Amino acid sequence: MRKAFLLFSAILFTPVAVNAQDEVVSAIFSNALNSDVAYENLRTLCETTEGRISGSPAAAAAVEFTRQIMKNMGLDSVYLQEMMVPNWRRGEPEIARILSSRYGSTDINVIALGLSVGTGNQGITAGVVELRGVEELEDLGREAVEGRIVFFNGPVDQTHYNTFTGYSGAVGQRFHGPALAADYGAAAALVRSVTTANHDYAHTGVTRFREEGRNIPAFAVSPVGADILSDMLEADPDLKLFVRNTSHRLPDVASFNVIGEIRGSVYPDQIITVGGHLDSWDNSPGAHDDGAGCMQSIDVLRIFNELGIIPRRTVRAVMFMDEEISQRGGRKYAAEADRKKEKHYFAIESDRGAFTPRGFSIDGSEEQLAAIQSLSPFFEPYGIYEIFSGGSGVDISFLRNYYDMALAGLVTDSQRYFDYHHAATDTFDKVNRREMQLGSAAMAALIYLLDHLDILEPADN
Amino acid sequence: MRKAFLLFSAILFTPVAVNAQDEVVSAIFSNALNSDVAYENLRTLCETTEGRISGSPAAAAAVEFTRQIMKNMGLDSVYLQEMMVPNWRRGEPEIARILSSRYGSTDINVIALGLSVGTGNQGITAGVVELRGVEELEDLGREAVEGRIVFFNGPVDQTHYNTFTGYSGAVGQRFHGPALAADYGAAAALVRSVTTANHDYAHTGVTRFREEGRNIPAFAVSPVGADILSDMLEADPDLKLFVRNTSHRLPDVASFNVIGEIRGSVYPDQIITVGGHLDSWDNSPGAHDDGAGCMQSIDVLRIFNELGIIPRRTVRAVMFMDEEISQRGGRKYAAEADRKKEKHYFAIESDRGAFTPRGFSIDGSEEQLAAIQSLSPFFEPYGIYEIFSGGSGVDISFLRNYYDMALAGLVTDSQRYFDYHHAATDTFDKVNRREMQLGSAAMAALIYLLDHLDILEPADN
Distance, CA of B48 to CA of A430 (rounded, Å): 25
Q: Is residue B461 part of a domain?
A: no
Whether A78 and A99 share a structural domain: no
A/B interface, count of CB pairs below 8 Å: 65
Q: What is the CATH number of the domain that holds A56?
A: 3.40.630.10
Which whole number is the average pLDDT over B407-428? 98
What span, in angstroms and rounded, lies between the C-alpha atoms of A34 and A29? 9
What's the CA gap between B321 and B85, in Å, rounded? 8
pLDDT(B366) > 80:
yes
Does residue A332 share a domain with residue A424? yes
At B458, the pLDDT band (50, 70, 90 cuts) reads confident
Whole-angstrom Cα distance, residue A107 to residue A229?
10
Question: Is A198 in the same domain as A321?
Answer: no
Q: What is the nearest CA distance from B17 to chain A, expressed in angstroms?
A: 22
Residue B381 to residue A29, Cβ atoms within 8 A? no
Spatial contact of B205 and B169, defined as CB atoms under 8 Å apart: no
Please state, rounded to an integer, the average pLDDT across all residues of chain A.
95
Domain shared by A300 and A443, yes or no: yes
Please, are residues B69 and B202 in contact by the beta-carbon 8 Å criterion? no
A411/A302 Cα distance (integer angstroms): 21
Of A417, A333, A431, A353, which Cα lies nearest the Cα of A161?
A: A417
| B329: nearest Cα among B286, B377, B288, B273 | B273
pLDDT confidence bin for B358, thresholds 50/70/90: very high
Whether pLDDT at B18 is above 90: no
Whether pLDDT at A53 is above 50: yes
Is A459 among the domain residues? no
In-domain check, residue A6: yes
HSE-CB at B171 with a 13 A cutoff on CA atoms is 17
Non-local (6+) Cβ contacts of A140 within 8 A are A129, A131, A184
- The complex's ipTM works out to 0.94
Question: B176 pLDDT band (50/70/90 cuts)?
Answer: very high
How much is the pLDDT for B2?
A: 37
Please report the pLDDT score of residue B136 as a whole number.
96
CA distances to A291, A340, B144, B410 from A422, rounded to whole Å, are 12, 35, 58, 32
Q: Quick one: B428 and B284 in the same domain?
A: yes
Q: Is residue B458 part of a domain?
A: no
Q: How far apart are the CA of B161 and the nearest CA of chain A, in angstroms?
A: 6
- Return the pLDDT at A458: 86
Q: What is the pLDDT of residue A99?
A: 98
Instruction: Determine, yes or no, domain membership for A461.
Output: no
> So what's the pLDDT on residue B224?
98
Single-letter code of the amino acid located at B387 = I
Residue A5 has pLDDT above 80, yes or no: no
Using CA of residue B442, residue B448, residue B453, residue B454, what is the dihedral sign? Answer: positive
Q: Specify whether B208 is located in the same domain as B295.
A: no
Q: Which one of B246, B270, B297 terminates a domain?
A: B246
Domain contains A460: no
Residue that finishes a domain, picked among B197, B230, B246:
B246
pLDDT recorded at residue B395: 98
Give the relative orientation of helices B37-48 and B292-307 as an angle to the nearest 10 degrees. Answer: 150
Tell how many helices (H) and how many strands (E) occur in chain A: 16, 16
Q: For the segment A235-285, what is each residue's pLDDT rounded down to a tens digit?
A: 999 999 999 999 999 999 999 999 999 999 999 999 999 999 999 999 999
Q: Name the minimum distance, in Å, from the CA of A158 to any CA of chain B.
A: 6
Model confidence at B8: pLDDT above 50: no
What's the rounded Cα separation, in Å, for the pair A43 and A37? Answer: 10
- Residues B23-49: what's their mean pLDDT? 98
Q: Find, in chain B, the residue whose alpha carbon is nearest to that of A35.
A: B158
CATH number of the structural domain spanning residue B116: 3.50.30.30
Inter-chain touch A158–B434, beta carbons under 8 Å: yes
Q: What is the mean pLDDT of residues B414-421?
A: 98
Indicate whether B294 and B180 sit together in one domain.
no
Q: Give A-chain residues touching B445 at CB under 8 angstroms.
A: none
> Does B415 sit within 8 Å of A356, measured CB to CB?
yes
pLDDT at B459: 84
Residues contacting B5, CB < 8 A, separation 6+: B27, B30, B31, B34, B306, B307
Identify the domain boundary among B227, B246, B265. B246
**pLDDT value, residue B243:** 98
Domain count, chain B: 2
CB A413 within 8 A of CB A356: yes
Do B213 and B295 belong to one domain?
A: no
User: What value does the mean pLDDT of chain B take?
Assistant: 95
Cβ contact B338:B402 at 8 Å: yes
Rounded to whole angstroms, what are the CA distances from A293 to A42, A89, A352, A414, B265? 9, 24, 8, 15, 52
Measured between beta carbons, which residues in chain B are less than 8 angstroms from residue A159? 29-30, 33-34
| pLDDT over 50 at B197, yes or no | yes
Q: Does pLDDT of A151 surpass 90? A: yes
pLDDT tens, position by position, A288-323: 999 999 999 999 999 999 999 999 999 999 999 999
Determine whether the interchain pair A161/B413 forms a contact, defined as Cβ–Cβ distance below 8 Å: no
Which chain B residues are within 8 Å of A415, Cβ to Cβ? Answer: 356, 432, 434-435, 438
Looking at the structure, tell me whether residues B62 and B171 fall in a common domain.
no
In a domain, A458, yes or no: no
| B251-296 pLDDT per residue, tens | 999 999 999 999 999 999 999 999 999 999 999 999 999 999 999 9
Task: Specify if B305 maps to a domain.
Answer: yes
Q: For the residues of B230-289, what is the DSSP string, one character each? A: HHHHHH-TT-EEEEE---EEEEEEEEEEEEEEE--SSEEEEEEEEEEE----TTS--III
CA distance B33 to B46: 21
The reply to whether A401 and A309 lie within a common domain is yes
Longest dimension (CA), chain B: 82
- Please check whether residues B190 and B232 belong to one and the same domain: yes
Statement to judge: residues B337 and B359 lie in one domain: yes
What's residue B19's pLDDT? 73
Which residues span the domain enclosing B388? 2-88+251-453
